Amino acid sequence: MAARPAEKHPALLALTSSALLLPAYQGVQADAPPQYTELGMRYSKYEEDDTRGSKTFGGSSQRYDIDAAQFHLLAPVADSWSVAVDVQWEDMSGASPWFVGQSLDGGPKVVMSGASIEDTRTEVSVTTRYFYDRGNAGVNYVRSDEDDYDSNALALDGAFNSADGLTTYSGAVSYSSDNIEPTQGSVPTNTRKADKDTSSAWVGVSRIISKNAIVRFGLSYTYRDGFLTDPYKLHDKRPGERNEWTASTGYRQYFSWPDGALQADYRYFDDDWGVASHTLNLSWHQNLGESTQLIPFLRYYTQGEADFFANVADLDTRYYADDYRLSAFGAISAGLRLRHEIGNWAITAVGERYESDESWGLYNGDESPALLNYWRYSFGLDYIFK
């Protein structure tokens, strides 16, 4: 039998609020660093479907494969600090769409980059976080290195809880400086050396709405400036600036029967290139006994095309691009994540299928012949030192 809410009787309210000033009841609310050191590893395989023969001009229709390994370490330091180190290696190979042309039968077809691209990327991210009674604040540095690209980013973020602990205000700012030096393949590239900067700010507020539900709302703004053109695409010339806005909301609801939680997240995106998008993520987190969780997830994404997108680019205009990523389409992905704990170990397995199609979108536009479908699998092992 659970105790009833404490609002009922003034005597009960007085006793409860005076009791809760005692130290034994303080720990519940305060932000605290993780109690134990956690180590995690993931291996993921990402495989794009071949582009269908009817949509390519001869040549190879094979697309990208990526093998990715992730390493994660999170450790408490002293009483009120934590340090996290994340390292990710990726090995990419395959071909990507080079340009789209008009075929004799009338439909646009894609020409893939001839030579196979081989690239590796290493990303190292270090975060230190300070926890205080009413929130936490973190500093994050990320460096990413590829043969033809490097990026350095710094981010600051903080969270602050209201006195009753029901509302959390969060904010973050970041700055990233990226350098591009195309080296790949035999295709001519759009630049020899260029750079771009990204500045971004985010504010969010989350609110506990019941013992079993929490909601969040966030707004972000990102400003990109520099060489935003894709260096490897034949028909690609984009503006040197981009302003992006997002509004997002998230919801988590726990159900004691059947001991599971619904996670729902929605994001609206808008920018000054004419792209707008809606993203809806739904997942159901089902506990099966004490040590197993089964998490099916579903994502719907739809975007409108950029103002300067055309399947067959008009090279006489100021800006142009035939990149399928700037076209109008809808995408659905569905997957299943399984996590099983064995003592201090946990194994994770994920399978996900992503498919995109112009007709699934909410926005009208020319269907790009280069739209993408892929499979992704991840396997992981986590260990907690306790």
Partner 1 sequence: MAALHFDHRFRAMGGPCRLRFDCSDDARAARAIAACEAEVGRLEQKYSRYLPDSLTSRINRAAGTRTPVAVDEETAGLLGFADTLWQQSGGLFDLTAGILRRAWDFKSRRLPAPEAIEALLPLIGWDRVEWDTGAVHLPRPGMEIDFGGCVKEYATDSAAAVLARHGIDRGLVDLAGDMAVVGAGSVAQPWSVGIRHPRDKDRAIAHTSLAAGGLASSGDYERCLVVDGRRYGHILNPVTGWPVQGLAAVSIIAGQCLVAGGSATIAMLKPEAEALAWLRELGLPWLAVDASLQSHGSISLD
Partner 2 sequence: MKQLTCLFVMLCLCGCETVQPWERGTLAKPEMQWQSDPMESSLQAQINASKEASSGGQGAAGGGCGCN
Q: According to CB under 8 A, which residues from 105 to 164 bind partner 2? A: 119, 121, 123, 125, 140, 142-144, 146, 148-149, 151-153, 155-157, 164
Distance CA 28, CA 43 (A): 35
d(CA 304, CA 320): 16
Based on the shown chain and the rule CB under 8 A, indicate whether residue 256 belongs to the binding site for partner 1.
Answer: yes
Q: Which is closer to partner 1, CB of 12 or CB of 228?
A: 12
Binding string to partner 1 for residues 204 to 233, with x set by CB under 8 A, is what?
A: -------xx---------------------
Instruction: Assess contact for 57 and 104: CB atoms under 8 A.
Output: no
Distance between CA atoms of residues 154 and 251, nearest Å? 28
187 near partner 2, judged by CB under 8 A? no
271 forms part of the interface with partner 2 (CB under 8 A): yes
Q: How far is the CB of 384 from partner 1 (least distance, A)?
A: 9
Which of 89, 169, 254, 379 binds partner 2 (CB under 8 A)? It is 254
- Considering only residues 339 through 358, tell me which ones interact with partner 1, judged by CB under 8 A: 341-344
Q: Hey, what amino acid is at 366?
A: D
Residue 11 interacts with, from partner 1, partner 2, none (CB under 5-8 Å by kind): partner 1
CA distances from 78 to 81, 82, 83, 85, 371 (A): 6, 8, 10, 17, 50
Q: Is 27 an interacting residue with respect to partner 1 (CB under 8 A)? A: yes
113: CB partners within 8 A, 6+ apart: 95, 96, 97, 98, 185, 187, 232
Determine if 166 is a binding residue for partner 1 (CB under 8 A). Answer: no
Contact between 14 and partner 1 by CB under 8 A: the answer reads: yes
Cα 304 from Cα 329, distance rounded (Å)? 7
The two three-digit tokens of residue 316, written as one number: 């006489």
Binding mask 68-107 for partner 2 (x = CB under 8 A): x-x-x-------------x-x---x---x-----------
As a whole number of angstroms, the distance between CA 151 and CA 178 comes to: 4
